[in-house]
Structure 1
Amino acid sequence: MKARFKQWISIFAAVSLLLGMSAAVPGKSYAAFWNLNGAIVTHDPSIIKEGDIWWNFATGSGLPVSYSLNGGTTWNTGVPIFSQPLSWWSTYVPNQTYNDVWAPDVKTYNGKVWLYYSISTFGSNTSAIGLMSATSIIQGDWVDHGLVIRSNSSTSYNAIDPNLVIDANGDPWLAFGSWFDGIKITRLDKTTMKPTGTIYSIAKRSNGIEGAYIVYRNGVYTMFASIDNCCQGVNSTYKIVVGQSKSITGPYLDKNGVNMMNGGGTIFDAGNSVWKGPGGQSVYGTSVIARHAYDATDNGTPKLLINDLYWDSSGWPTY
């Protein structure tokens, strides 16, 4: 993997040059809906800002990476994280499609960048979540920390769709899960960033729920999750729902007070005539939300959508 760091250094050189020309690049005017262009074909985006650069990590071969130098408007193709599968993957997911990596989550914590990702096969819960870390994204000095948690036919849950959550005390947790037995959350050790205790159930739905992303704001944990079916182009029925809790382990209730363990969830984004099946969301801080949706004007191609994220007077998220 070290050989690939030279590619990141090349990107760093190009980035530095372009940033040096930044006076000639108009600043992005943040509006509710960001007008994006460039390398925006994506699935399950995880966005993060490092310095003046926006990054997107996504589902795909080798775990694709893209970046923006002008405030998140124009996106450029970066270097995937994995040039080939890691040797330990096949131990836990022997039938994985070659180097196919799913639903990453990238976040800074305790002076490092942490990258959780999942490997699996569609429709199966023979899955695993892995972990990488780096001193910074631009340096690209990624270190493999191996397996975080796994699942198979003997477990009720599915170990995919990881989300690193930092609680009110600054302690790390990992939310994960897709269909099967719903969404779980477990405390992480601050040193290893791997599970150290009980696995709690926080959301379940008979017609599918996955991709949890939890943010803490003003004493409340808000969980965004994707429901129904993805990955069918314009026929996708994906939607984003939300629920809230005063405790990171739940219960998470929707606006009508229905527990998300009982199928609750207030619809946050159901798409429109152009953008079908929004989901696979991530939130940067508490003010920016990204997700993919299928472009009905482009044969259902999944693309990156970013919005400013607002909060109403009752503390619920809104566009």
Structure 2
Amino acid sequence: MRRILVGLGAVLTLTACGGGTAAPVTKATTAAVSFSFTDDRGRKVDLPERPTRIVAQVGAAAALWDFGVRPVAVFGPHKLKDGSRDPQAGNVDIAKVTGLGNVWDEFDVERYIGLQPQLLVSSMYLKDDLWYVPAKSKETIEKVAPTAGVMLTGKSAAEVIQRYGTLARQLGADVNTPEITQAKKRFESAQAELETLVAKGLKIEIVSGSPDALYVSTPEMVPDFKLLSDAGLDVVRPKVDAQGYFETLSWENADKYKADVILFDSRTQATQLAEMKKKPTFAELPAVKAGQAYPMWVETPYSYQKWADELEGLVANLKKASKLP
């Protein structure tokens, strides 16, 4: 949550001299059917045929993958240091897609052009800002192929999943396969169970740790968290900074809010529970002392398959938690 400008003509020349292309892999229908999609910037993409050579930011790629669409390339965190798949990539087979960049501000424009993409898809936290598309390369990238953005901010996970399902259907995917249908049923069942847990009256705090600070997230901005507030759960609403996503607390002030349950960011880049417990103010929090600090994977791919797993785990943890004195 927290960019080499290359002239298009020059890069095209380089590509023509030696750039390769990768064959698209997709479960979507490849018949010559037109494609039309209005993204969350209000931009309408109209193409005479459904695009099959799709490049996607890794979170978008993971969502589309579970809906049956197979991008030819991804950008954003998809590979860990040991070469294994980053959890943000979901079920994407990283051995079968081209990687255009694995970290922030990294996007191989020359290779992108060489792939002859027909559509780029990315999530967005800001309306006109495609996530992980570097600002310095944006103009060049957008000249190569149409782009589509799916807004995350202010949406619940359920809404974002539905939005990616709509895009996948427009791309020709069958979004009603037995696997997807079963996962959707599991997701909706867990969602209903989450709503019943409101009666327990649990106060929930959502945090992410770093070596120098504890970030307390608001439930209203990020889809992962808004799903909880939409269910009616009582989630701490911190005094957020200007961007509106979280409040930054020094570790000395980590005890500012009291909660029955703490949900902590379990991504590899975040400080994990064992380390956070070494901070006295955090260790003494009632929820931590009661063993009611539970992991929550932020940026879970927006598919029914992944979110059914995430939500079932969350429900199980909240069921065993109790209201503290």
TM-score (norm 2): 0.28
Which of the two has higher C-alpha Rg? 2
Larger relative CO (CA 8 A, sep 6+): 1 or 2? 2
Indicate the structure with greater strand content. Answer: 1
